[in-house]
């Protein structure tokens, strides 16, 4: 009887480890990157929405909406954003008063990221982190580097967690809503 218990202990430990760590799970990647502009990507409720904008006066935008896992053959829609929508979005992104809130949202994601996994019949389960990522020449965030004073400016992607247990700042929610409004204007343009 004692041997049976000792033999079951490693099996139970392995089962627990598999439950906690998504082994054999294909994790979502952010396949969208641009040079010179900004990319907003939201993975939430099994879908991905991506919006690419340029900071130029042309106000050009490209967007995509697809289910997860995202395919490479999905087609992009292109449009010009309304001047007020475009400038309001950039104003929110670069408002220095908001940067500490964006940094706090980034810290909250790093502390509490939880993957959502869905089984697939052929191949590994697909897992993704419900979040928003803004990449490109994103705002500079003040951080202390190795105790050097004054704080150094560091560029970093902005990440916002979309899980129930992650409390986003009011500023983070406003930025996400503005990007979603711009995505909607791109995906379903009004003629």
pLDDT tens string 122-134: 767 778 888 898 8
- The Cα 1–Cα 97 span in angstroms is 66
Q: pLDDT tens digits, residue range 108-121?
A: 877 666 777 776 66
- The Cα 78–Cα 81 span in angstroms is 10
Among the listed residues 50, 57, 51, 54, the one whose alpha carbon sits nearest the alpha carbon of residue 36 = 54
pLDDT at residue 25 tops 70: no
Q: Is the pTM of this model over 0.85?
A: no
- Give the tokens for residue 103: 């940094």
């Amino acid at each position: 009887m004692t041997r049976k218990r000792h033999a079951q202990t490693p099996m139970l430990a392995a089962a627990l480890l598999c439950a906690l760590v998504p082994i054999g799970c294909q994790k979502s990647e952010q396949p969208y990157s641009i040079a010179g502009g900004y990319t907003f990507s939201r993975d939430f409720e099994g879908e991905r929405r991506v919006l690419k904008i340029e900071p130029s006066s042309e106000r050009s935008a490209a967007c995509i909406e697809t289910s997860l896992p995202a395919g490479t053959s999905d087609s992009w829609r292109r449009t010009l954003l309304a001047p007020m929508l475009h400038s309001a979005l950039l104003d929110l992104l670069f408002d220095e008063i908001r940067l500490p809130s964006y940094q706090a949202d980034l810290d909250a994601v790093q502390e509490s990221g939880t993957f959502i996994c869905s089984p697939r019949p052929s191949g590994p389960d697909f897992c993704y982190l419900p979040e928003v990522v803004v990449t490109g020449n994103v705002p500079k965030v003040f951080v202390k580097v190795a105790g050097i004073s004054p704080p150094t400016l560091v560029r970093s992607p902005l990440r916002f967690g979309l899980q129930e247990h992650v409390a986003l700042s009011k500023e983070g929610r406003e930025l996400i809503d503005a990007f979603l409004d711009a995505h909607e204007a791109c995906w379903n343009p009004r003629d």
